[in-house]
Structure 1
Amino acid sequence: MPPIELLPYFLFAMLVISLTPGPDILGILSYGMARGRQAGIGFAIGVGLGTLFHTLLAVIGLSAVVATSPWAFRFIVYAGASYLIYLGTRAIVTRSGEEGVTWEKTVPRQGFREACLRGFLCNALNPKVGLFFLAFLPQFIEADRPAWSQLIVLGVIFWLWVTLSYSVLGYYSGLIGGWLRGRPSTGQWIDRVTGALFVGLGLHLIFTGNKS
């Protein structure tokens, strides 16, 4: 176990960090609103699994390798950014009326497993999340105790909180989406706006990654 006296500081920092707007929260909101509660919750759980993945990377030291290898870092940056741009482009080009379908059919309710996979990839392919975990988690451990076990405990706490809070967000964003699906033109504009944000986040990741 990490030091008990440091846990309140960790929990407060975890709360602030997890609620800071970013690609994960944006993805949960857009998936829940556009594709239903099941997709929103699935995307949220996938994001949670992504944080657990980054915790494991930090524990075994792979994040440190990425941090010291410009080529490895850039490869993961481009992979994650390309995936965000792909999702954003798909959302932007979606139109109602094509092949005689409505917006609701063009952007169907998505299965839980597929949404979960996309949430995982959105988080896991972002190298800055891994670098953040590598810098953040060690602040709350003691050097005279086994570091790997303390990191795992902190990572699991973070994962449980993210999964719970983000799933609630995905659930309620799906309720909002139920109202929006009855208004196809509104749904199209939501997809275009969120798609543009995804593309912008992908481009931002590429440019900031090049400077790292």
Structure 2
Amino acid sequence: MSKNVMITIGRQFGSGGREVGSRLAKSLGLPLYDKNLVEMAAKKLDISEETAEEVDETTLSRFLSSYTYTPATVVPYVGNVEYMEPINDKMFYTQSAIIRELAKKGPAVFIGRCADYALKDHAECLNVYICADKEDRIKRIAGIYDLTEKKAADKIKKVDRERRYYYETYTGKDWGDVTSHDIILNVSRLGMERTIKDLEMIYRGMTEE
């Protein structure tokens, strides 16, 4: 019986990390958990997917979230005023709990959502960080979103900043740092195909008895 090894993928925006995770999961025959985690968490919290998506891996609405009133977030407070636990905090803790439950079912690939931190007590994890050269990231995002290179660069800067803050706020670790991940791969240097094949090889080596 193969070992219950999880693969978690952190990624720079525009690096191709989502494609790496998707193709890797398909190649290995593993379930992929990415944006579907948002839907699962929304159902658990009894909030709309739109609300869940607004705070997923971002901190843009962090200030406003403190004023988001939903039945699921009400907590009692001394006096006549009720305060709310920020919805983004509830999203993080709920998604983390879901990730841990899914990991009990068998090997899987998780993209983002601080999955490496959520599974820090799991016996076997391959925590990967995918990056790429700035020029390649700009071209990729410009093509995907039909943006000028200037707007693509601005979007990359914004999303990376949000992902970094999200990761570092909830994990206490440095996003993209060699001490925070088991392996860091640059798609610009390796190419998409080799990046995926190298991860396949490493994963299969970890699952061999």
- Same fold per TM (> 0.5)? no
TM range (shorter): under 0.3
More strand, by proportion: 2
More helix, by proportion: 1
TM-score, normalised to structure 1, is 0.22
TM-score, normalised to structure 2, is 0.22
